[in-house]
Amino acid sequence: MKIRLLEAFSRYIAYATTSDENSTSYPSTESQLVFGDFLAEELKQIGLTEVEKDQYGYVTAILPANCSEPNPVIGFIAHFDTSPDMPGIAKPVVVENYNGQDIMLDADSQTALRVADFPELLDYTGQTLLVTDGKTLLGADDKAGIAEIVCAMEYLIQHPEIKHGKLKVGFTPDEEIGQGVLHFDVAKFGCDYAYTVDGGAIGELEYENFNAAAVVIKVQGRNIHPGYAKNKMVNAQLIAMEFNAMLPDFQRPQYTQDYEGFFLLTKMEGCVENSTLHYIIRDHDHAKFESKKQLIKTITQFLNDKYGDRVTCALKDQYYNMRKKIEPVLHVVTHAEEAMRKAGIEPKVIPIRGGTDGANLSFKGLPCPNIFAGGHNFHGKYEYIPLESMIKAVEVIVNIAKQ
Protein backbone atom coordinates (compact mmCIF):
# COMPACT_ATOMS: atom_id res chain seq x y z
CA MET A 1 0.00 0.00 0.00
CA LYS A 2 2.80 2.43 0.83
CA ILE A 3 4.41 2.10 -2.60
CA ARG A 4 1.05 2.22 -4.40
CA LEU A 5 -0.01 5.39 -2.57
CA LEU A 6 3.28 7.14 -3.26
CA GLU A 7 3.15 6.18 -6.93
CA ALA A 8 -0.45 7.37 -7.37
CA PHE A 9 0.07 10.62 -5.49
CA SER A 10 3.26 11.40 -7.39
CA ARG A 11 1.51 10.96 -10.72
CA TYR A 12 -1.46 13.08 -9.72
CA ILE A 13 0.53 16.07 -8.51
CA ALA A 14 2.57 16.08 -11.72
CA TYR A 15 -0.56 17.41 -13.46
CA ALA A 16 -1.19 21.15 -13.44
CA THR A 17 -4.72 21.66 -12.10
CA THR A 18 -4.57 25.15 -10.63
CA SER A 19 -7.99 26.82 -10.58
CA ASP A 20 -8.47 30.45 -11.62
CA GLU A 21 -10.89 32.73 -9.76
CA ASN A 22 -10.85 35.23 -12.65
CA SER A 23 -11.98 32.74 -15.26
CA THR A 24 -15.49 32.78 -16.71
CA SER A 25 -15.44 29.13 -17.80
CA TYR A 26 -16.37 26.02 -15.82
CA PRO A 27 -14.17 24.45 -14.78
CA SER A 28 -12.00 27.53 -14.59
CA THR A 29 -8.96 25.97 -16.31
CA GLU A 30 -8.61 23.56 -19.21
CA SER A 31 -5.90 21.64 -17.35
CA GLN A 32 -8.49 20.34 -14.90
CA LEU A 33 -10.40 18.69 -17.74
CA VAL A 34 -7.19 17.05 -18.90
CA PHE A 35 -6.59 15.62 -15.45
CA GLY A 36 -10.23 14.52 -15.27
CA ASP A 37 -9.76 12.44 -18.43
CA PHE A 38 -6.67 10.82 -16.94
CA LEU A 39 -8.43 10.12 -13.65
CA ALA A 40 -11.50 8.62 -15.33
CA GLU A 41 -9.27 6.23 -17.27
CA GLU A 42 -7.52 5.20 -14.06
CA LEU A 43 -10.83 4.44 -12.35
CA LYS A 44 -11.76 2.15 -15.23
CA GLN A 45 -8.42 0.38 -15.00
CA ILE A 46 -8.78 -0.45 -11.31
CA GLY A 47 -12.23 -1.96 -11.95
CA LEU A 48 -14.85 0.65 -11.03
CA THR A 49 -18.02 0.75 -13.10
CA GLU A 50 -20.16 3.49 -14.68
CA VAL A 51 -17.15 5.77 -14.84
CA GLU A 52 -18.13 9.15 -16.22
CA LYS A 53 -16.64 12.60 -16.76
CA ASP A 54 -19.42 15.05 -17.49
CA GLN A 55 -19.43 18.38 -19.31
CA TYR A 56 -18.44 20.25 -16.14
CA GLY A 57 -15.46 18.03 -15.42
CA TYR A 58 -16.97 16.01 -12.56
CA VAL A 59 -15.59 12.48 -12.48
CA THR A 60 -17.81 9.84 -10.88
CA ALA A 61 -17.76 6.05 -10.62
CA ILE A 62 -19.36 3.16 -8.77
CA LEU A 63 -18.09 0.19 -6.81
CA PRO A 64 -21.10 -2.16 -6.79
CA ALA A 65 -22.21 -3.82 -3.57
CA ASN A 66 -20.87 -7.31 -2.95
CA CYS A 67 -23.46 -8.31 -0.35
CA SER A 68 -27.19 -8.92 -0.48
CA GLU A 69 -28.16 -7.11 2.73
CA PRO A 70 -29.51 -3.58 2.28
CA ASN A 71 -26.94 -0.93 3.07
CA PRO A 72 -26.80 2.82 2.66
CA VAL A 73 -25.10 4.09 -0.48
CA ILE A 74 -21.97 5.91 0.70
CA GLY A 75 -19.94 8.40 -1.32
CA PHE A 76 -16.33 9.53 -1.09
CA ILE A 77 -15.42 12.88 -2.61
CA ALA A 78 -12.23 14.87 -3.20
CA HIS A 79 -11.29 17.83 -5.39
CA PHE A 80 -8.57 17.82 -8.01
CA ASP A 81 -7.86 21.53 -8.42
CA THR A 82 -5.01 23.12 -6.46
CA SER A 83 -4.83 26.57 -4.95
CA PRO A 84 -3.96 29.53 -7.20
CA ASP A 85 -1.77 30.86 -4.37
CA MET A 86 1.30 29.10 -5.82
CA PRO A 87 2.34 27.10 -8.90
CA GLY A 88 0.76 23.67 -8.81
CA ILE A 89 2.96 21.26 -10.77
CA ALA A 90 4.95 19.43 -8.13
CA LYS A 91 7.31 16.54 -7.62
CA PRO A 92 7.41 15.26 -4.05
CA VAL A 93 10.70 15.10 -2.22
CA VAL A 94 10.66 11.94 -0.11
CA VAL A 95 12.18 12.19 3.36
CA GLU A 96 12.56 8.66 4.69
CA ASN A 97 12.73 8.00 8.43
CA TYR A 98 12.41 11.67 9.36
CA ASN A 99 14.96 12.49 12.08
CA GLY A 100 13.19 15.35 13.84
CA GLN A 101 15.49 18.04 12.41
CA ASP A 102 14.85 20.98 10.06
CA ILE A 103 14.31 19.94 6.43
CA MET A 104 16.02 22.04 3.78
CA LEU A 105 13.64 22.39 0.83
CA ASP A 106 15.64 24.72 -1.42
CA ALA A 107 19.25 25.55 -0.62
CA ASP A 108 19.41 28.47 -3.06
CA SER A 109 16.68 30.41 -1.29
CA GLN A 110 17.35 28.83 2.11
CA THR A 111 13.73 27.71 2.27
CA ALA A 112 13.35 25.12 5.01
CA LEU A 113 10.72 23.36 7.07
CA ARG A 114 11.92 24.43 10.49
CA VAL A 115 10.80 22.69 13.66
CA ALA A 116 10.75 26.06 15.42
CA ASP A 117 8.10 27.23 12.95
CA PHE A 118 6.24 23.94 12.60
CA PRO A 119 6.66 22.01 15.89
CA GLU A 120 4.09 19.39 14.83
CA LEU A 121 6.82 17.95 12.60
CA LEU A 122 8.13 16.18 15.68
CA ASP A 123 4.91 14.13 15.80
CA TYR A 124 6.14 12.37 12.66
CA THR A 125 9.67 11.46 13.72
CA GLY A 126 10.61 8.15 12.13
CA GLN A 127 7.97 8.42 9.42
CA THR A 128 8.19 9.11 5.69
CA LEU A 129 7.42 12.73 4.83
CA LEU A 130 6.56 14.02 1.39
CA VAL A 131 7.66 17.65 1.06
CA THR A 132 8.05 20.26 -1.69
CA ASP A 133 11.16 21.49 -3.46
CA GLY A 134 10.59 24.93 -1.93
CA LYS A 135 9.31 26.40 -5.19
CA THR A 136 5.73 25.08 -5.49
CA LEU A 137 2.98 23.82 -3.30
CA LEU A 138 2.74 20.04 -2.93
CA GLY A 139 -0.86 19.45 -3.97
CA ALA A 140 -1.83 17.23 -1.05
CA ASP A 141 -4.88 19.50 -0.92
CA ASP A 142 -6.54 17.52 -2.29
CA LYS A 143 -4.73 15.05 -4.50
CA ALA A 144 -3.84 13.15 -1.35
CA GLY A 145 -7.57 12.65 -0.86
CA ILE A 146 -7.93 11.41 -4.43
CA ALA A 147 -5.04 8.96 -4.05
CA GLU A 148 -6.49 7.65 -0.78
CA ILE A 149 -9.97 7.13 -2.23
CA VAL A 150 -8.62 5.44 -5.37
CA CYS A 151 -6.35 3.14 -3.37
CA ALA A 152 -9.17 2.29 -0.94
CA MET A 153 -11.48 1.31 -3.83
CA GLU A 154 -8.69 -0.73 -5.39
CA TYR A 155 -8.09 -2.49 -2.06
CA LEU A 156 -11.78 -3.38 -1.73
CA ILE A 157 -11.82 -4.75 -5.29
CA GLN A 158 -8.77 -6.88 -4.54
CA HIS A 159 -10.30 -8.13 -1.27
CA PRO A 160 -13.84 -9.30 -2.08
CA GLU A 161 -14.05 -10.98 1.32
CA ILE A 162 -14.66 -7.48 2.73
CA LYS A 163 -18.40 -7.03 2.36
CA HIS A 164 -19.79 -3.60 1.56
CA GLY A 165 -22.78 -1.87 0.08
CA LYS A 166 -22.81 0.25 -3.06
CA LEU A 167 -20.08 2.89 -3.01
CA LYS A 168 -19.68 5.96 -5.20
CA VAL A 169 -16.70 8.20 -5.75
CA GLY A 170 -16.78 11.77 -6.99
CA PHE A 171 -13.93 14.09 -7.93
CA THR A 172 -14.60 17.77 -8.43
CA PRO A 173 -12.89 20.83 -9.97
CA ASP A 174 -12.68 24.43 -8.69
CA GLU A 175 -13.11 23.76 -4.97
CA GLU A 176 -10.30 26.17 -4.14
CA ILE A 177 -12.22 29.09 -5.65
CA GLY A 178 -15.51 28.17 -3.96
CA GLN A 179 -17.17 26.71 -7.08
CA GLY A 180 -16.50 23.01 -6.53
CA VAL A 181 -20.06 21.69 -6.56
CA LEU A 182 -21.77 24.50 -8.42
CA HIS A 183 -23.09 22.06 -11.04
CA PHE A 184 -22.82 18.82 -9.05
CA ASP A 185 -25.94 16.68 -9.53
CA VAL A 186 -26.66 15.29 -6.05
CA ALA A 187 -29.71 13.32 -7.20
CA LYS A 188 -27.73 11.63 -9.96
CA PHE A 189 -24.86 10.87 -7.56
CA GLY A 190 -27.46 8.94 -5.58
CA CYS A 191 -25.87 8.57 -2.15
CA ASP A 192 -27.50 8.50 1.26
CA TYR A 193 -24.51 10.35 2.66
CA ALA A 194 -20.90 10.99 1.75
CA TYR A 195 -17.53 12.10 3.08
CA THR A 196 -15.08 14.57 1.63
CA VAL A 197 -11.52 13.36 2.17
CA ASP A 198 -10.11 16.86 2.36
CA GLY A 199 -9.06 17.43 5.97
CA GLY A 200 -5.69 18.07 7.55
CA ALA A 201 -3.73 16.07 10.11
CA ILE A 202 -4.42 12.44 10.92
CA GLY A 203 -7.55 11.94 13.00
CA GLU A 204 -9.33 15.15 12.01
CA LEU A 205 -13.09 14.79 11.57
CA GLU A 206 -15.15 17.85 10.85
CA TYR A 207 -18.80 18.68 10.41
CA GLU A 208 -18.64 22.39 11.17
CA ASN A 209 -17.13 24.96 8.86
CA PHE A 210 -17.05 28.70 8.39
CA ASN A 211 -19.86 30.72 6.94
CA ALA A 212 -18.03 32.49 4.12
CA ALA A 213 -18.36 35.58 1.97
CA ALA A 214 -16.16 37.35 -0.58
CA VAL A 215 -15.94 41.13 -0.76
CA VAL A 216 -14.61 43.46 -3.45
CA ILE A 217 -14.21 47.11 -2.50
CA LYS A 218 -13.59 49.58 -5.34
CA VAL A 219 -12.56 53.17 -4.75
CA GLN A 220 -12.78 55.84 -7.44
CA GLY A 221 -10.32 58.67 -6.96
CA ARG A 222 -9.43 61.76 -8.93
CA ASN A 223 -5.90 62.04 -10.30
CA ILE A 224 -4.58 65.56 -10.76
CA HIS A 225 -0.99 66.62 -11.45
CA PRO A 226 0.53 66.89 -7.95
CA GLY A 227 1.74 70.40 -8.68
CA TYR A 228 -1.86 71.57 -9.12
CA ALA A 229 -3.63 69.09 -6.83
CA LYS A 230 -4.68 71.35 -3.94
CA ASN A 231 -8.40 70.89 -3.22
CA LYS A 232 -8.72 68.74 -6.35
CA MET A 233 -6.86 65.44 -5.97
CA VAL A 234 -8.66 62.51 -4.35
CA ASN A 235 -6.21 59.65 -3.75
CA ALA A 236 -8.08 56.36 -4.06
CA GLN A 237 -5.21 54.49 -2.40
CA LEU A 238 -5.52 56.56 0.78
CA ILE A 239 -9.26 55.98 0.98
CA ALA A 240 -8.64 52.24 0.51
CA MET A 241 -6.08 52.33 3.32
CA GLU A 242 -8.59 54.17 5.50
CA PHE A 243 -11.18 51.50 4.76
CA ASN A 244 -8.83 48.74 5.85
CA ALA A 245 -7.80 50.62 8.99
CA MET A 246 -11.44 50.74 10.11
CA LEU A 247 -11.64 46.93 10.31
CA PRO A 248 -10.75 45.46 13.73
CA ASP A 249 -7.08 44.45 13.94
CA PHE A 250 -7.78 41.57 16.31
CA GLN A 251 -10.12 39.94 13.79
CA ARG A 252 -7.36 39.05 11.35
CA PRO A 253 -6.43 35.39 10.73
CA GLN A 254 -3.07 35.64 12.51
CA TYR A 255 -4.86 36.56 15.74
CA THR A 256 -7.71 34.02 15.62
CA GLN A 257 -8.25 30.32 16.29
CA ASP A 258 -10.94 27.68 16.92
CA TYR A 259 -14.36 29.33 16.47
CA GLU A 260 -13.05 32.88 16.06
CA GLY A 261 -13.86 34.48 12.72
CA PHE A 262 -11.88 36.99 10.71
CA PHE A 263 -11.56 39.49 7.87
CA LEU A 264 -8.72 38.72 5.46
CA LEU A 265 -7.38 41.18 2.91
CA THR A 266 -6.37 38.77 0.13
CA LYS A 267 -5.38 41.24 -2.56
CA MET A 268 -4.97 44.98 -3.11
CA GLU A 269 -4.13 46.95 -6.22
CA GLY A 270 -4.48 50.47 -7.50
CA CYS A 271 -3.19 53.97 -8.01
CA VAL A 272 -4.36 57.51 -7.28
CA GLU A 273 -7.21 57.23 -9.78
CA ASN A 274 -8.68 53.94 -8.58
CA SER A 275 -7.96 51.17 -6.09
CA THR A 276 -9.43 47.76 -5.30
CA LEU A 277 -9.43 45.69 -2.12
CA HIS A 278 -10.37 42.00 -2.04
CA TYR A 279 -11.46 40.43 1.24
CA ILE A 280 -12.86 37.20 2.53
CA ILE A 281 -15.07 37.10 5.63
CA ARG A 282 -15.29 33.99 7.80
CA ASP A 283 -17.21 33.04 10.95
CA HIS A 284 -18.73 29.84 12.32
CA ASP A 285 -21.50 31.73 14.12
CA HIS A 286 -24.14 32.93 11.65
CA ALA A 287 -25.10 36.01 13.68
CA LYS A 288 -21.44 37.09 13.92
CA PHE A 289 -21.05 36.39 10.21
CA GLU A 290 -23.93 38.70 9.41
CA SER A 291 -22.48 41.32 11.77
CA LYS A 292 -19.16 41.23 9.92
CA LYS A 293 -20.91 41.77 6.60
CA GLN A 294 -22.86 44.65 8.06
CA LEU A 295 -19.65 46.28 9.29
CA ILE A 296 -18.30 46.22 5.72
CA LYS A 297 -21.47 47.96 4.53
CA THR A 298 -21.34 50.48 7.37
CA ILE A 299 -17.73 51.45 6.61
CA THR A 300 -18.60 51.78 2.93
CA GLN A 301 -21.45 54.15 3.73
CA PHE A 302 -19.31 56.17 6.17
CA LEU A 303 -16.59 56.73 3.57
CA ASN A 304 -19.15 57.61 0.92
CA ASP A 305 -20.66 60.19 3.24
CA LYS A 306 -17.17 61.55 3.91
CA TYR A 307 -15.80 61.59 0.35
CA GLY A 308 -18.91 61.70 -1.81
CA ASP A 309 -19.93 58.27 -3.11
CA ARG A 310 -16.52 57.07 -4.20
CA VAL A 311 -16.63 53.58 -2.67
CA THR A 312 -18.58 50.58 -3.97
CA CYS A 313 -18.97 47.25 -2.21
CA ALA A 314 -19.72 43.92 -3.92
CA LEU A 315 -20.42 41.27 -1.29
CA LYS A 316 -21.21 37.64 -2.15
CA ASP A 317 -21.91 34.70 0.16
CA GLN A 318 -19.84 31.63 -0.75
CA TYR A 319 -20.96 28.85 1.58
CA TYR A 320 -22.51 28.24 5.00
CA ASN A 321 -21.82 26.19 8.12
CA MET A 322 -22.89 22.61 7.39
CA ARG A 323 -23.46 21.84 11.09
CA LYS A 324 -27.09 22.85 10.60
CA LYS A 325 -27.51 20.04 8.06
CA ILE A 326 -25.36 17.38 9.75
CA GLU A 327 -26.76 17.51 13.29
CA PRO A 328 -30.12 15.91 12.30
CA VAL A 329 -28.18 12.92 10.86
CA LEU A 330 -25.31 12.81 13.32
CA HIS A 331 -24.91 9.06 12.80
CA VAL A 332 -22.79 9.88 9.73
CA VAL A 333 -20.25 11.46 12.09
CA THR A 334 -20.33 8.65 14.65
CA HIS A 335 -19.87 6.13 11.83
CA ALA A 336 -16.64 7.88 10.82
CA GLU A 337 -15.52 8.04 14.46
CA GLU A 338 -15.97 4.28 14.77
CA ALA A 339 -14.05 3.73 11.54
CA MET A 340 -11.14 5.76 12.87
CA ARG A 341 -11.05 3.94 16.19
CA LYS A 342 -10.98 0.60 14.36
CA ALA A 343 -7.89 1.93 12.57
CA GLY A 344 -6.28 2.77 15.91
CA ILE A 345 -6.88 6.52 15.55
CA GLU A 346 -8.53 8.70 18.17
CA PRO A 347 -10.87 11.07 16.30
CA LYS A 348 -10.28 14.81 16.67
CA VAL A 349 -13.67 16.39 16.06
CA ILE A 350 -12.88 20.03 15.35
CA PRO A 351 -14.41 22.91 13.41
CA ILE A 352 -12.98 23.49 9.95
CA ARG A 353 -11.30 26.86 9.74
CA GLY A 354 -12.14 26.94 6.08
CA GLY A 355 -14.62 25.21 3.81
CA THR A 356 -15.00 22.07 1.75
CA ASP A 357 -17.24 20.87 -1.04
CA GLY A 358 -19.05 19.02 1.74
CA ALA A 359 -20.51 22.26 3.08
CA ASN A 360 -22.33 23.10 -0.15
CA LEU A 361 -23.21 19.45 -0.76
CA SER A 362 -24.83 19.28 2.68
CA PHE A 363 -27.02 22.25 1.78
CA LYS A 364 -27.84 20.53 -1.54
CA GLY A 365 -29.25 17.58 0.43
CA LEU A 366 -26.20 15.29 0.69
CA PRO A 367 -24.89 15.16 4.30
CA CYS A 368 -21.13 15.26 3.87
CA PRO A 369 -18.71 15.54 6.82
CA ASN A 370 -14.99 15.89 6.18
CA ILE A 371 -12.30 13.39 7.16
CA PHE A 372 -8.54 13.83 7.22
CA ALA A 373 -6.31 13.42 4.19
CA GLY A 374 -3.19 13.88 6.33
CA GLY A 375 -1.51 17.01 5.00
CA HIS A 376 -0.16 20.16 6.66
CA ASN A 377 0.50 23.77 5.59
CA PHE A 378 -1.71 23.71 2.52
CA HIS A 379 -1.50 26.35 -0.24
CA GLY A 380 2.20 27.05 0.04
CA LYS A 381 5.76 25.82 -0.33
CA TYR A 382 5.85 24.54 3.25
CA GLU A 383 3.16 21.95 2.53
CA TYR A 384 3.97 18.37 3.55
CA ILE A 385 2.24 15.09 4.25
CA PRO A 386 3.33 11.96 6.15
CA LEU A 387 2.90 8.86 4.01
CA GLU A 388 1.81 6.91 7.09
CA SER A 389 -1.12 9.31 7.55
CA MET A 390 -2.19 8.59 3.97
CA ILE A 391 -2.10 4.86 4.66
CA LYS A 392 -4.33 5.37 7.71
CA ALA A 393 -6.75 7.45 5.63
CA VAL A 394 -7.12 4.50 3.25
CA GLU A 395 -7.81 2.23 6.21
CA VAL A 396 -10.48 4.60 7.52
CA ILE A 397 -12.20 4.77 4.12
CA VAL A 398 -12.25 0.96 3.96
CA ASN A 399 -13.67 0.78 7.50
CA ILE A 400 -16.42 3.26 6.63
CA ALA A 401 -17.29 1.18 3.57
CA LYS A 402 -17.46 -2.15 5.42
CA GLN A 403 -20.85 -3.70 5.99
User: Which residues have a catalytic role annotated?
Assistant: 81, 175
Pairing relation of β-strands 370-372 and 193-199? parallel
**What amino acid occupies position 201?**
A
Pairing relation of β-strands 167-172 and 211-220? unpaired
Element (H, E) at 384: strand 384-386
Reduced to 3 states (helix: H, G, I; strand: E, B; else coil), residue 355 is coil
Return the ∠ at Cα 314 (arms to 285 and 319), rounded to 5°: 35
Report d(CA 81, CA 182) in Å as an integer: 14
Q: Which residues contact 176 (CB under 8 A, 6 or more apart)?
A: 19, 79, 81, 82, 83, 84, 141
Does residue 19 contact residue 27 with C-beta atoms inside 8 Å?
yes
**What amino acid occupies position 285?**
D
Element (H, E) at 31: helix 30-46
Helix, strand, coil % in the chain, rounded to nearest 5: 35, 25, 40
185 closest CA partner among 55, 330, 43, 29: 55
Report d(CA 135, CA 88) in Å as an integer: 10
Dihedral Cα 108, 109, 110, 115, nearest 10 deg: -130
